[in-house]
A = this chain, B = another copy of it.
Amino acid sequence: MGKIIALLTDFGSKDGYSAVMKGVINKISPNSKIIDLTHDIQPQNVNEAAFVLWASYQYFPKQTIFVTVVDPGVGSERKILLVKSRDYIFLAPDNNVLKYILSYQRILKIYSVENKKYFLSNISNTFHGRDIFAPVAAYLSKGVLPKKFGKEIIPLTKPENFISLSEFKHKLINGKIIYIDRFGNVITNIFVKNFEDINKIKYVLVGEYRIDRFLKFYSQSDNSNLFGLVGSTNLLELSARNMNASEILKVKIGANIKVVMK
């Protein structure tokens, strides 16, 4: 059994674009196992993809190859990064989509993918997922060494951290919303260790809303009011039972929040 290749794109499902990547991978490396991380990132939404990748990667077997193709700059001079971390390999355009990975994985080497030997023979200007990312991932899964794909570079992508509540020294934290999931749960960049940690918060301000109730799980709420909880990736999450919290709050990814401590 070859290595796992996990695909994360904004290609959606209707056009067959992600399936074509699987076809290409299967031609080169028929024994690799492909898992769809998701293909339903909002078109060109690099921030969404950055979060989903970070929230998911650590639950995959070591040596998994993560292929992220959310790539508004396809065809331009933007680089394609091959990041070898302690535990995994990441392929992605150099457009910030790896910002959390660069912060939270121990990075060993970063290469610029340039060796056309490992690309398809005809390279379009619009579909590098098929022509570059898929064959490169396939050759990686067959054991071709990362250094074979190009030279080491310093990426433009900068690491981005979350804010750790327990290490924060002031009364007021300026945070932001970094993801909204399909249930409408609003995920912030405030890292909380556990329920005791979250209870050091007096309230959270989001636009005109003030949230001062903190619960352990969704159905603990007996009404549809907003509350905060420790999300499944230990980030402060804002929710409402059986309701879409993001619609109540009328917020989008990137919106600012304020956290006021007791």
Contact = CB atoms under 8 A, between A and B. Distances in A.
A20 interface: yes
B14 A38 contact: yes
Contacts of A6: 19, 23
A229 to B, nearest CB: 7
Given A13-B38, A72-B219, 15 more contacts: A13-B39, A13-B40, A15-B52, A15-B182, A20-B56, A20-B59, A23-B56, A23-B64, A26-B33, A43-B183, A59-B130, A75-B218, A125-B229, A126-B218, A131-B232
A165 B156 CA distance: 40
16 contacts: A1-B31, A6-B19, A13-B13, A13-B38, A14-B38, A24-B59, A26-B35, A26-B60, A27-B59, A27-B60, A75-B219, A75-B220, A76-B217, A125-B230, A126-B231, A127-B232
Contacts of A242: 44, 72
Majority-rule SS of A interface residues: loop
A166 interface: no
A36 interface: yes
A44 to B, nearest CB: 6
A116 to B, nearest CB: 17
A124 B11 CA distance: 31
Given A26-B4, A40-B14, A182-B11, A216 B60 contact: no
Interface in A204-262: 216-220, 229-232, 237, 242
Interface string A46-79: 0010001101100111001000000011111000
A25 B130 CA distance: 27
B43 A16 contact: no
A126 B53 CA distance: 19
A125 B15 contact: no
A15 B12 CA distance: 13
B56 A232 contact: no
A243 to B, nearest CB: 10
Contacts of A23: 6, 35, 56, 59-61, 64
